[in-house]
Amino acid sequence: MGVQDDEALREKVREHYAAAATATVTGARSGGCCGPLYGEAEQQALPAAALSASLGCGNPTAVADLHPGEVVLDLGSGGGIDVLLSARRVGPTGRVYGLDMTGEMLALARRNAAEAGADNVEFLEGLMESIPLPDGSVDVVISNCVVNLSTDKPAVFREILRVLRPGGRIGISDLVADDRLSASERAERGSYAGCIAGALSVSEYRDGLVAAGFADVEVRVGDEYVDGIHAAIVRAVKR
């Protein structure tokens, strides 16, 4: 895939999620995917717009087992649901960054954070292939069905490793493909912006994290989303 192709795909993804944010603000989008992914208490603690803007495939705040005082980075933070939940878990001595490339989503997330009264969060505009944070500045990186949207996943893995402190960890919810599916077979099952065509296989995900320098890599496959495409929990540690 060439640079122009990558940029075209990224723009399609940006347009897709910008439209979702706009639909949430105007009321055209009335519900997200949060049903079984988040508990009732978690949903009640969030602004309605954060819930309706959610487009994830899991609950990375639970996967990552966050603790008070930790610094967290959410890649592809969207309307801010996982940032706000993380902020509650890390408490006033912790901090949570949300990174997104879509201006409309960032505006919605900042509005949701203000409504929730979350003063230990900060939303950043940028790409997950080039995270605008210093080396070793984060304890935990989370993400909710977003890494599969990148056109350069090795760069994403390297950047995650760079911003993590030694001993830092990742807790990612994502979609993964069965190893039997070729790239073209994945594309037949759904679009790139729909999180299907760009999904890594289980082995590709695991091998990519190991190649970037992560240890204790785990890719746990869960429910099937479409034929051969599954929700997954991804964990790894920076030594």
The rounded distance, in Å, linking the Cα atoms of 227 and 239 is 36
The rounded distance, in Å, linking the Cα atoms of 132 and 116 is 25
Strand 71-75 to 138-144 pairing: parallel
- Helices vs strands, H then E, count in the chain: 9, 7
Confidence at residue 36, expressed as pLDDT on a 0 to 100 scale: 54
Q: What is the pLDDT of the chain when averaged over all its residues?
A: 90
* CA nearest neighbour of 123 among 139, 140, 111: 111
Choice between 14 and 56, residue whose per-residue pLDDT is larger: 14
Homologous superfamily (CATH) for 3-237? Vaccinia Virus protein VP39 (3.40.50.150)
pLDDT tens digit sequence for 78-128: 999 999 999 999 999 999 999 999 999 999 999 999 999 999 999 999 999
Total-model pTM: 0.90
DSSP H or E segment with residue 144: strand 138-144
Q: Which amino acid is at 152?
A: D
Confidence at residue 3, expressed as pLDDT on a 0 to 100 scale: 63
In the structure encoding, which two tokens stand for residue 55, read together? 């487009």
Provide the residue count of the chain. Answer: 239
User: Hey, CA dihedral for 20, 22, 28, 29, is it positive or negative?
Assistant: positive
pLDDT tens digit sequence for 145-203: 999 999 999 999 999 999 999 999 999 999 999 999 999 999 999 888 888 989 999 99
pLDDT value at 34 more than 60:
no
Q: Which amino acid is at 168?
A: G
- The answer to whether residues 212 and 237 touch, using CB atoms and an 8 Å cutoff, is no
Q: 10 Å Cβ neighbour count for 114?
A: 12
